[in-house]
Amino acid sequence: MSGVALGSMAFAWVSWAEAAGTNGALPVPPPRKPLRVKPVLTYATPQRAPKTSWRPWGGIQTEEDAKAETARIVEELNKLRADADFPVEFLPVTAIRDPKQLEGVTDLAGADTVLLYAAGGPSHVFQQFRDQGKDVIYFVRHKSGPVSLWYEIVSPIQLRGHTDERVTKNFDEQDVVVDNMGEVLWRLRALCGLKNTMGSRIVAIGGASGWAHPRAPELAKERFKLDIQTVSYPDLTELIKAARADRAAVALAQKRAEAYLKLPGTTLETEYKFVENAMLLDQVFRAIMKQADCRSITINECMGTIMPIAETTACLTLSTLNDDGYMAFCESDFVVVPSGILLSNISGRPVFLNDPTYPHEGLITLAHCTGPRKMDGRTVEPARILTHFESDYGAAPKVEMRKGQITTNILPGFKAERWVGLLGEIVDSPFLAICRDQIDIRFKCDSLQLAQRMPGFHWMTCYGDYSKELGYALKRVGIQWEFLG
């Protein structure tokens, strides 16, 4: 067996039959961790007093009112869970009139987020949650149920502390929701994505790098606490040799290559052997990530070094890994890799790392050779399997991405201080003499404005609009989100 030092862990190739188990299945990525949400209802039960203002605003004034509100909250959260396209766990609702009642709430410590139904009651309970490091979404009612006291006073008291300026740290106007549970849902989606990104592990084949910015891996660790584990190219060489000597692994790669090329809309325009070798490399990478207990991988020096080792390019391999729920990136560029991890964890979909061109007349071309075919997470889109453009070698997909599709595009800055966001619409999938996966996207902001505000180099693209979620998550890691629309 061959061994690889993976950070502090040791990795060794085992027979594919042993790695796959009795059913012979491919390793699959571990699922996203659920966001654990603790719903807390704060209320008061004022007592009638003669000739004085004895009760504050609000429709919850008695214990019976609070019980009815608790039941309403449970019903709302059950629907929210059913609507969620991300993993979320709602803990039992706790209703309190006094912050001291929280002392006996044992499940609060394990919660990631507090969903605070601020019907009434004390204001300082909020700070207790913040002191414990919890994210807080502050929910008040206008017409969705009995009106909340804090619908009136959350701004002047909670946010501004009886002043004209916001005094709260890491909590702002965007953390307050009135009535709309859909507004709660996208905030929870953002926080789930951030939870699964912070401190996550990624394997860097050939080491971590940054396009023209050597401090990129260090900044990725600072901002997102990424656990970057390295596999050297000499060690990868030994792993591939071991895989080629494994009859079960080779047979599976051959079977997968045949099945892949039979997918509807697939045409082969390169050597068949390159596709087989790409599938074997895919299996090596899956085995590495299984040992590392992670779902993210990136490849340094993929424009040359890996080709003679794998006897193909990594382009198709990265595409198939992304289609199966992994996060696989070329170039080991840690300027852009964190944006891909975060966007995929928020959306639950594959993402497309690409090279942008120059914006003009509301249009820009994005291209690379590693595009996923399941950009919506389900549908296999048509693809021509060609060579990698710059080397004219190996196997790379030219995916016909869906025209009319709205995309979220992230433009990460080199300093990890500012990311620009841009929505676009795919209007064409051309075939220019550039990287194989190509899309022209149309955008609504001014072309000159985009050209002037573009930071960094590589972009990250995903089907759908996740611009709100990204901004909501990034403010918690100290990165400015500049959304150009």
Closest by CA to 206, choosing from 118, 300, 96, is 300
Q: Which helix (H) or strand (E) holds 453?
A: helix 447-453
pLDDT level of residue 100 (50, 70, 90 thresholds): confident
3-state helix, strand, coil in the chain (%, to 5): 35, 25, 40
Residues 122 and 251 in one domain: no
* The last residue of a domain, from among 160, 194, 228: 194
Residue (of 88, 64, 65) closest to 77 by Cα position: 88
Same domain as 203, residue 173: no
Q: Which two tokens stand for residue 467?
A: 């611009």
- Name the band, by pLDDT with cuts 50, 70 and 90, for residue 21: low
| Residue after which a domain boundary falls, among 141, 176, 194 | 194
* Domain C-terminal end among 157, 176, 194: 194
Average pLDDT, the chain: 94
User: For residue 434, what are the domain limits?
Assistant: 3-30+198-483
Query: pTM score, two decimals?
Result: 0.96
Beta carbons within 8 Å of 249's beta carbon, 6+ residues apart: 16, 243, 280, 283
Q: How far is CA 446 from CA 124, 154, 405, 450, 483, in A?
A: 45, 37, 20, 6, 13
68 lies in the same domain as 186: yes
- Return the minimum-mean-pLDDT range out of 90-104, 122-136, 179-193, 341-355: 122-136
**Statement to judge: residues 146 and 222 lie in one domain:** no
Helix (H/G/I), strand (E/B), else coil: 345: helix
> Is there a single domain that holds both residue 325 and residue 343?
yes
Q: At what angle do helices 233-244 and 272-292 cross, to 10 degrees?
A: 110
Domain count, the chain: 2
User: Rounded to the nearest 10 degrees, how much is the dihedral formed by the CA atoms of 21, 199, 33, 184?
Assistant: -160
Q: Which of the pair, 211 or 346, is modelled with greater confidence?
A: 346
Instruction: Assess whether 279 and 150 both reside in one domain.
Output: no
Whichever domain contains 126, its CATH number is: 3.40.50.10940
- Dihedrals phi, psi of 401, to nearest 5 degrees: -65, 150
Give the pLDDT confidence of 166-188 residue by residue, as tens digits: 998 888 999 999 999 999 999 99
Q: Is the same domain home to 291 and 430? A: yes
pLDDT at 24: 64
Q: What pLDDT shows up at residue 7? A: 61
Residue 329, token pair as written in the block: 């990136």
221 and 301 part of one domain:
yes
Alpha-carbon distance 364 to 450, whole Å? 10
pLDDT band at 72 (very low <50, low <70, confident <90, very high): very high
Compare 408 and 12 and report the one with higher pLDDT: 408
Q: What is the pLDDT of residue 467?
A: 98
